[in-house]
Amino acid sequence: MGWIDVTLALSENVPPWPGDPPFNRQPASNMSAGDKCNTSRIEMSSHFGTHLDAPFHFLSGGQTVDNLDPDILIGPCSLIEHKPDRHIEPRDIEDKMPEGRKRVLIKTRNSNIIHDSTFHEDFLALTEDAAKWLTDAGVRLVGLDYFSIAPYKQGTPIHRPFLGAGGIAIEGLDLSDVSEGEYFLVAMPLKIKDGDGGPCRVMLHTLPFNVTA
Ligand SMILES: [Zn+2]
């Protein structure tokens, strides 16, 4: 299989978080209008589309996106398929990854609506208990297939303890074409100085992952 891109393309078709600025890209110079090259002006929320939350998103004084540890952003990763039609509990994840695993992505029924241009408030996410379980288990990177790791309007009690323990959240992943298993993960957010988060390109590689030429 090789590399699998689990990133949504940045476009006006992706819904912004309610109340956040939407994505907007306008030509700044345009070859079809006689300019020498094509460039764009881009406007968006730092938490638009497939993006990463740095600890500073919920903790003043927390780590910012330009200072994240690459040892968390790159490495082996478990992908868990969550079948029940309810939020994620510790029992849904605890037996599904190798002990000591630092990175986990969870695919839910959200993957059926992740390409929808309207925002759905009834997406599935982590319960407080699941966020605590992940923190206690030493997981430092968690990714979900909708635009928050917390259920709608329950952001703080889930983000704050997880990010406060040095965790990183990746939200808005497109997991529709991947299935449960072990992968090698590369997640590279834009290096925004002092940033609370930012758009993130996320790739999975099937195992074994061998660097050759
Ligand atoms: Zn976010």
pLDDT digits (tens, 9 = 90+) for 137-170: 999 999 999 999 999 999 999 999 999 999 999 9
What is the CA 96 to chain-centroid distance, rounded?
Answer: 20
Judged against a pLDDT cut of 80, whether residue 1 lies above it is answered with no
49 and 10 in contact (C-beta within 8 Å)?
yes
pLDDT band at 175 (very low <50, low <70, confident <90, very high): very high
Judged against a pLDDT cut of 90, whether residue 212 lies above it is answered with no
Q: How far, in Å, is the centroid of ligand 1 from the Cα of 13?
A: 18
What percent of the chain clears pLDDT 70, i.e. is strictly above it?
Answer: 99
Residue 57 known to be catalytic: yes
List phi, psi (to 5°) of 208: -75, 150
pTM comes to: 0.95
Q: How far, in Å, is the centroid of ligand 1 from the Cα of 19?
A: 13
List, as one string, the DSSP characters of 165-189.
TT-EEEES---TT--SEEEEEEEEE
Helix ranges (DSSP H) in the chain = 70-73, 128-136, 155-164
Query: Six-digit token pair at 62?
Result: 């927390």
**If you average pLDDT over every residue of the chain, what do you get?**
96
List phi, psi (to 5°) of 107: -100, 130
Q: How far, in Å, is the centroid of ligand 1 from the Cα of 30?
A: 32
Task: Give per-residue pLDDT as tens, 81-110.
Answer: 999 999 999 999 999 989 999 999 999 999
